[in-house]
Structures are given as C-alpha cells and as structure tokens.
C-alpha cells in the first residue's frame, strides 16, 4: 500500500455507540492530522500529532479522542456522538509540522450519526 | 478570528484560463497553500507560497501578496479533468485554516 489509507470508508453509528477510525501512512512522515469536512464548510483541523505527541487540539469536544501509537498510525475514537458530527473525516500526514509542509490526505471516512 | 474568502463557484470552458481568488484574515501567517479535491476524493496539494510573487507549476500558477492578504490560483489551458473544488489554506505553523472551497466547472 502507498500513501495514506483510512478505514472504514463509511460508518453509520448510533449516538450511544463507540467506534474508532483508523489512519495509516506509508510515507515515512513524522506528522499526522485529523480534519472534519462538512458540506459547504471549510475543512476544520481537529488534531495534530508530531512524532506521536499531540501538538494541537482545536477545541474539539471530548467525545472525539485521538490516539497516535506510532508515527505511522493514527486513530480517532468516537463515543456518544451527535447527529451534527456526521461528516467526512480526513486524515493527513506530512514530513514535519514546519510551515512549508505539504500534506497528503487519505480518502476519508464518511460518518453518519443516527 | 480566522477567515478565508474565496468564490463558491466558477464556470469556464475547456482551453480557457481561470483565476480563483483568496483573501484571508488570520492572526498568524507563514504561507498560503492550494489544494484540489475531486468529488468523492481526497484533497491533493497543488502549491505553496511563502513569499510575495508568482509560483508556476505546469498549467497551474499561484500568487501571493502578503501586504494585501491576498492570493490566487491561476489555471491555464483548462481541461475537463480540472473540474473539482479548490481550497486555499493559510499555514500558521502547526495550524492550517482552510477556505470553504471554490467549485470549478469546466464545460466543453
């Protein structure tokens, strides 16, 4: 596999469920990101990890819990979500977190909360 | 707060030139990036400007004026495959702030 992969590609969950999104990058990068993309709205940066340490948390509700066990893997644990959390969740990676970094995005997980 | 403004939709014909503008107001600024996203696809990086001026990459060029908080993406010799959404994004060290995207429709 190459690039950035995400699983599952589609997820439907109830508000009381617990699920996890998985992201894996095969590029040897040191930084990974979670974004939320809702219809007609800008991409929203949720979390940034650099060398497995969280360096940014953009005031994301605690029902979203990230985990970065190593520089190649990133998870987003979900629990007691709300219908407004339905969106496309994109993972990205970059060589570093420096300002000139090009980000490589995965295909996303389309999440529907019922 | 942070805000980026870009037109919501632009239509052009094959072979034409189109310019997508982006104005921004952010508390910090390192550079301006552009990304392309086809329907159902992942955003892909197009260009990055940290300094004023024009950067050219094939049919695509990107311009930045830091004093005007303004940039644009110029697409030349439009092809049908260029139909996609285009996002500008401000880099503020660890953070990215994205615009809402411009949907480009290329017609034959």
Q: Does B96 contact A45 at a Cβ distance shorter than 8 Å?
A: yes
Q: What is the mean pLDDT of residues A25-48?
A: 91
The answer to whether the Cβ–Cβ distance between A103 and B45 falls below 8 Å is yes
Nearest to residue B95, comparing CAs of A43, A52, A45? A45
Provide the percentage of residues in chain A whose pLDDT is more than 70. 96
| Contact state of A105 with B44 under an 8 Å Cβ cutoff | yes
Q: What is the pLDDT of residue A53?
A: 81
Asked whether the predicted pLDDT for residue B20 surpasses 80, the reply is yes
What pLDDT, on a 0 to 100 scale, did the predictor assign at position A99?
67
pLDDT one-digit tens code per residue, B69-102: 999 999 999 999 999 999 999 988 777 889 999 9
Q: What pLDDT is recorded for position B29?
A: 86
Band of the pLDDT at A93, cuts 50, 70, 90? very high
Rounded (5°) CA angle B9-B87-B45: 135
Using pLDDT thresholds of 50, 70 and 90, give the confidence band for residue B7: very high
Rounded CA-CA distance A52/A67 in Å is 9
The residue to which tokens 């969106």 are assigned: A87
Question: Does residue B18 have a pLDDT over 80?
Answer: yes
Looking at the complex, does the CB of residue B31 fall below 8 Å from at least one CB of chain A?
yes
What backbone torsions phi and psi does residue A103 show, to the nearest 5 degrees? -100, 140
Q: What is the pLDDT of residue A1?
A: 55
pLDDT at A98 over 80: no
Span B41-75, pLDDT tens digits: 899 999 999 999 999 989 999 999 999 999 999 99
User: Chain A within 8 Å of B38 (Cβ-Cβ)?
Assistant: no
> Is A42 within 8 Å of chain B by CB?
yes
- By CA distance, what is B28's nearest residue in A? A99
Examine the pLDDT at A100 and tell me if it is beyond 70.
no
Residues B52, B64 contacting (CB under 8 angstroms): yes
Which residue from B45, B87, B97 is facing A102, i.e. has the nearest CB?
Answer: B45
Asked if B87 lies within 8 A of A42 by C-beta distance, the reply is yes
* Distance of alpha carbon B48 from alpha carbon A29, whole angstroms: 19
Q: Considering CB atoms only, which of A33, A101, A106 is closest to B42?
A: A106
pLDDT tens by residue, A51-85: 888 877 778 999 999 999 999 999 999 999 999 99
* Interface check A91 vs B, CB under 8 A: no
> CA distances (Å), B87 to each of A5, A34, A57, A104, A114, in order?
21, 17, 22, 14, 29
For residue A8, cis peptide bond before it (omega within 30 degrees of 0): yes
How many whole angstroms from its chain centre is CA A40?
19
């Amino acid at each position: 596999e190459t690039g950035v992969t995400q699983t599952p590609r589609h997820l439907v969950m109830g508000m009381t469920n617990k699920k996890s999104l998985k992201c894996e990058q095969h590029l040897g990068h040191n930084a990974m990101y979670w974004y939320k993309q809702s219809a007609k709205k800008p991409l929203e940066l949720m979390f940034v990890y650099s060398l497995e340490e969280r360096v940014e948390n953009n005031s994301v509700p605690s029902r979203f819990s990230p985990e970065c066990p190593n520089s190649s893997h990133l998870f987003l644990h979900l629990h007691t979500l709300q219908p407004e959390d339905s969106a496309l969740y994109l993972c990205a990676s970059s060589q570093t977190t420096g300002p000139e970094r090009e980000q490589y995005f995965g295909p996303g997980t389309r999440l529907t909360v019922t | 707060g942070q805000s980026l403004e870009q037109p919501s939709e632009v239509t052009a014909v094959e072979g034409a030139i189109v310019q997508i503008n982006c104005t921004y107001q952010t508390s910090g600024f390192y550079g301006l990036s552009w990304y392309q996203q086809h329907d159902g696809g992942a955003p892909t990086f197009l260009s990055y400007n940290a300094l004023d001026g024009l950067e050219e990459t094939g049919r695509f060029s990107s311009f930045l004026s830091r004093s005007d908080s303004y940039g644009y993406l110029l697409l030349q010799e439009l092809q049908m495959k260029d139909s996609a959404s285009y996002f500008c994004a401000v880099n503020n060290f660890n953070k990215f702030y994205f615009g809402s995207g411009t949907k480009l429709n290329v017609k034959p």
